[in-house]
Chain A
């Protein structure tokens, strides 16, 4: 239930080995042990659990500067659920006033999908809200849910049936990803059901310590998806996938009646390339002359195969060549809405990421995370930054 008091024992498992320093993006940027998972755990322990020290604004700032990228949790051999503990601390301390664009995004846009219609046609959120930053993603002229809804049946035999959870990134910013998901699945004999009434998966709210908000989104989505007669539930976004797989159940009490439905959804959730690779492609792709590099999203720990799925899937496209980055798993600094509130540090993290990207010559940078896609895309303009499913769609001529 993400209650801080439930973590008092496991937080002791941190052996101070310091291995989190190898992957924590805020540490690697600041180069100070203040800003590493180990110190964040100590702050939580000393200020919020044992109350040996007061919870100061500086303590809050250090906890806030965590991107919740989960790299520390994935690195931690002592298996301390560091990101959950930080979320629990944020829930406990409550959020200080989030304002402006972030409040709008968090409060309205993600929970009320119809709202973008009221915003008018294409344009940037920043312009709409009068915020002077160039680096706010452009909203698509038509959101995905305005174009796609209901059941999409392949021609020929139906091999499998999946439900498609459409994340906010795809819905509002990159509907092209969603279009490719539907077409590629159909092309492989997979029927796609897109239930109406989907809302945000809840991970941005949870990251803000808004447990109530996250819980309400989980309830809405789980009630929509749990009863469907499908072989799998796919998402194109690794963060939505993580939310369903690892976090949704933690938003409610263990004995909540909804837990059964959550478990049903959790058991079926797949990232779409992971699902396709696991199932095997029914139709071999046509040759496509493209050299691509793969930026692995941070939220990859929830599936053991998700980070290799695009590599293996696109390896089946004749003439498509993978040019690996030196550090394919290095964080880009976007991290949901982090880049809006922590511009300076996010930009530093990205600058470090871009060194590797710019040293690797390829035609396309692929990633399953919409935030990585636009946050990297703001700076990488010499080549396409997109979702791997789009390359597969292209190879199919879809």
Chain B
């Protein structure tokens, strides 16, 4: 691939190309490092849309695979270059171009880190809610490409609900700008939202228009320890039934709390079956009302423990532990693989029981954490040791889990995307006709098949995992 690197050097500066294996190891996969990984032939680090377009024109002419990449923190293998070629690291396109307070909109380059963007708009009393829990590193472009969600989905929706326009470099290097700085548009096919969630398979997202909300003036965190999963579900039903809408409503099981408890003082009671972390935001009066209501409901329903946390610094400890639960779990297990099943909210106890039954039947450990507010759960198979037998059992268990979720009227992925991780299950949910339609869309955008090949659907019966 010496020719490739030579060619790239005519398009970009020397600090914008990586080609030695030792400098590209991190680019061989994302946070699903246990799936098939491959060191790319080269990594490019463009600074501008024009540079992205130059590279695409070149790759199109030479028919070289291109895998766009944000932070590399994804959980579906979406940015793993399974067919080699060029990885396009977009983190240097990192300018916040505009924050328009009067229109409540923003325009950013694709590589802007989510937390930096949120901090910036919050200084102006504006609010960008989507938060896939990796905000300190993940990029807005990556969020758009995976239609990322997070705990705030219950009240505020996910990334897709905030994207109003894009700048996209198509595989042949041409640049399009679907949508724009408006919250309504009824002009033909909605390419903006077709690109959103397309996982780098249709083109390279280089710019994003977002809509913003006013920053809620107050917030409060409530943590509840429940005797049983059913009790947790009943509490959730009661809270939402009585009109309180938490901005975040997280459900965790004991195993997650075991690793998180080191950060809490005093530690949470470790003998609950279900744990709820709730966050209310809005006006001071509204937050006060909702918090009191929830406190009352939890006490009436005899929850084991209710903590109303007033101090934002203490609340931050709970939410930071929540955001870090995935890497934290690695401290006690050799591996954890995370699923992303989403079911209607009232099916939550049924899903939890199904998870427990499958874990018992297959002899695997499955931890459970997720966004109870919107029914998006993350069962994680936990491997004390990774052995061929454990991997086989795990695959059977995951197959059953996915089937159970679908049978409850759910979906295989609420927010992570398909990548290589869930390609095997795509047909279970969508059926052949939808997949064929998707392939024809892909063909229309990417006739030479160079954009992030090997993703979303199976290739010749292989999911590349």
* Shortest Cβ distance from residue A376 to the other chain B in the assembled complex, whole angstroms: 23
Q: Is the interface of B mostly helix, strand, loop or mixed?
A: loop
Count of A-B contacts judged by CB separation below 8 Å: 95
Give which listed residue, A13, A17, A56, A76, contacts B20 with CB less than 8 A: A56
Task: Decide if B134 touches A19 in the complex (CB within 8 Å).
Answer: yes
Task: Decide if A16 touches B25 in the complex (CB within 8 Å).
Answer: no
Once A17-B326, A21-B137 are accepted as A-B contacts, the answer to whether A42 and B73 lie under 8 Å apart by CB is no
Give a binary string over B73-100; 1 marks a CB under 8 Å from any A CB, 0 the rest.
Answer: 1000000000000000101101000000
Once A31-B45, A31-B92, A43-B25 are accepted as A-B contacts, the answer to whether A15 and B326 lie under 8 Å apart by CB is yes
Whole-angstrom distance between the alpha carbons of A47 and B45 in the complex?
A: 25
Smallest CB-CB A-B distances: 8 pairs: A22-B136, A77-B327, A42-B25, A77-B324, A39-B26, A34-B23, A33-B26, A18-B73
Task: Decide if A16 touches B33 in the complex (CB within 8 Å).
Answer: yes
Task: Decide if B72 touches A18 in the complex (CB within 8 Å).
Answer: yes
Interface size, chain A (Cβ < 8 Å): 30
* Shortest Cβ distance from residue A36 to the other chain B in the assembled complex, whole angstroms: 7
A46 at the interface (CB under 8 A from B): yes
Whole-angstrom distance between the alpha carbons of A38 and B29 in the complex?
A: 11
B186 at the interface (CB under 8 A from A): no
Give a binary string over B284-328; 1 marks a CB under 8 Å from any A CB, 0 the rest.
Answer: 000000000000000000000000000000000000000010111
Between-chain CB contacts (< 8 Å), 22 pairs: A12-B334, A13-B330, A13-B331, A15-B31, A15-B33, A15-B326, A15-B330, A16-B29, A16-B31, A16-B33, A18-B30, A18-B72, A19-B73, A19-B134, A21-B137, A22-B115, A31-B45, A33-B43, A33-B89, A34-B18, A58-B23, A79-B331
A131 at the interface (CB under 8 A from B): no
Give a binary string over B1-28; 1 marks a CB under 8 Å from any A CB, 0 the rest.
Answer: 0000000000000000010111111110
Q: Known A-B contacts: A18-B31, A19-B137, A22-B113. Give 5 more (CB < 8 A).
A: A14-B330, A31-B94, A34-B26, A39-B25, A53-B21
The residues in A between 5 and 54 inclusive whose CB is less than 8 angstroms from any CB of B are: 12-19, 21-22, 31-34, 36, 38-39, 42-43, 46-47, 53
Task: Decide if A46 touches B33 in the complex (CB within 8 Å).
Answer: no
Which residues of chain A are within 8 angstroms of B91 by Cβ–Cβ distance? 31
Once A18-B71, A31-B45, A32-B89 are accepted as A-B contacts, the answer to whether A62 and B327 lie under 8 Å apart by CB is no
Highest count of chain B CB atoms <10 Å: which of A13, A17, A21? A17
Which residues of chain A are within 8 angstroms of B326 by Cβ–Cβ distance? 15, 17, 77
Which residues of chain B are within 8 angstroms of A18 by Cβ–Cβ distance? 30-31, 71-73, 134, 137
A78 at the interface (CB under 8 A from B): yes
Residue in B closest to A10 when the chains form the complex, CB atoms: B331
Task: Decide if B23 touches A36 in the complex (CB within 8 Å).
Answer: no
Residue in A closest to B137 when the chains form the complex, CB atoms: A21
* Shortest Cβ distance from residue A44 to the other chain B in the assembled complex, whole angstroms: 10
Residues on B facing A (Cβ under 8 Å):
18, 20-27, 29-33, 43, 45, 71-73, 89, 91-92, 94, 113, 115, 134, 136-137, 324, 326-328, 330-331, 334, 336
* Shortest Cβ distance from residue B194 to the other chain A in the assembled complex, whole angstroms: 27
Task: Decide if B327 touches A15 in the complex (CB within 8 Å).
Answer: yes
* Shortest Cβ distance from residue A61 to the other chain B in the assembled complex, whole angstroms: 9
Which residues of chain A are within 8 angstroms of B33 by Cβ–Cβ distance? 15-16
Once A17-B326, A19-B324, A21-B71 are accepted as A-B contacts, the answer to whether A78 and B25 lie under 8 Å apart by CB is no
Residue in A closest to B111 when the chains form the complex, CB atoms: A31
Once A76-B327, A78-B330, A79-B331 are accepted as A-B contacts, the answer to whether A19 and B136 lie under 8 Å apart by CB is yes
A59 at the interface (CB under 8 A from B): yes
Task: Decide if B31 touches A17 in the complex (CB within 8 Å).
Answer: yes
Whole-angstrom distance between the alpha carbons of A42 and B72 in the complex?
A: 15
Task: Decide if A17 touches B134 in the complex (CB within 8 Å).
Answer: yes
Residue in B closest to A43 when the chains form the complex, CB atoms: B22
Residue in A closest to B22 when the chains form the complex, CB atoms: A59
Which residues of chain A are within 8 angstroms of B137 by Cβ–Cβ distance? 18-19, 21-22
Which residues of chain B are within 8 angstroms of A59 by Cβ–Cβ distance? 22
Highest count of chain A CB atoms <10 Å: which of B22, B29, B136? B22
Which residues of chain B are within 8 angstroms of A47 by Cβ–Cβ distance? 22
Whole-angstrom distance between the alpha carbons of A33 and B326 in the complex?
A: 21
Whole-angstrom distance between the alpha carbons of A17 and B336 in the complex?
A: 12
* Shortest Cβ distance from residue B91 to the other chain A in the assembled complex, whole angstroms: 5
Residue in A closest to B92 when the chains form the complex, CB atoms: A31
Whole-angstrom distance between the alpha carbons of A375 and B32 in the complex?
A: 40
Highest count of chain B CB atoms <10 Å: which of A21, A58, A59? A21
Which residues of chain B are within 8 angstroms of A42 by Cβ–Cβ distance? 25-26
Whole-angstrom distance between the alpha carbons of A36 and B23 in the complex?
A: 10
Which residues of chain B are within 8 angstroms of A58 by Cβ–Cβ distance? 20, 22-23
Which residues of chain A are within 8 angstroms of B89 by Cβ–Cβ distance? 32-33
Whole-angstrom distance between the alpha carbons of A56 and B26 in the complex?
A: 17
* Shortest Cβ distance from residue A34 to the other chain B in the assembled complex, whole angstroms: 4
Whole-angstrom distance between the alpha carbons of A39 and B20 in the complex?
A: 13
Whole-angstrom distance between the alpha carbons of A32 and B27 in the complex?
A: 10
Whole-angstrom distance between the alpha carbons of A59 and B134 in the complex?
A: 28
Residue in A closest to B321 when the chains form the complex, CB atoms: A77
Residue in A closest to B18 when the chains form the complex, CB atoms: A34
Whole-angstrom distance between the alpha carbons of A21 and B26 in the complex?
A: 12
Which residues of chain B are within 8 angstroms of A56 by Cβ–Cβ distance? 20, 22
Which residues of chain A are within 8 angstroms of B334 by Cβ–Cβ distance? 12
Whole-angstrom distance between the alpha carbons of A273 and B210 in the complex?
A: 46
* Shortest Cβ distance from residue B438 to the other chain A in the assembled complex, whole angstroms: 28
Which residues of chain A are within 8 angstroms of B27 by Cβ–Cβ distance? 33
* Shortest Cβ distance from residue A46 to the other chain B in the assembled complex, whole angstroms: 6
Residue in A closest to B334 when the chains form the complex, CB atoms: A12
* Shortest Cβ distance from residue B51 to the other chain A in the assembled complex, whole angstroms: 14
Which residues of chain B are within 8 angstroms of A33 by Cβ–Cβ distance? 26-27, 43, 72, 89
Residue in A closest to B73 when the chains form the complex, CB atoms: A18
Whole-angstrom distance between the alpha carbons of A32 and B19 in the complex?
A: 12
Task: Decide if A17 touches B22 in the complex (CB within 8 Å).
Answer: no
Whole-angstrom distance between the alpha carbons of A229 and B330 in the complex?
A: 42
Whole-angstrom distance between the alpha carbons of A21 and B91 in the complex?
A: 11
Which residues of chain B are within 8 angstroms of A14 by Cβ–Cβ distance? 330
Whole-angstrom distance between the alpha carbons of A14 and B27 in the complex?
A: 15
Whole-angstrom distance between the alpha carbons of A31 and B26 in the complex?
A: 13
Which residues of chain B are within 8 angstroms of A46 by Cβ–Cβ distance? 22, 25
Which residues of chain A are within 8 angstroms of B330 by Cβ–Cβ distance? 13-15, 77-78
Which residues of chain A are within 8 angstroms of B26 by Cβ–Cβ distance? 16, 33-34, 36, 38-39, 42
Which residues of chain A are within 8 angstroms of B115 by Cβ–Cβ distance? 22
Task: Decide if B328 touches A32 in the complex (CB within 8 Å).
Answer: no
Which residues of chain B are within 8 angstroms of A79 by Cβ–Cβ distance? 331
Whole-angstrom distance between the alpha carbons of A56 and B23 in the complex?
A: 11
* Shortest Cβ distance from residue A58 to the other chain B in the assembled complex, whole angstroms: 5
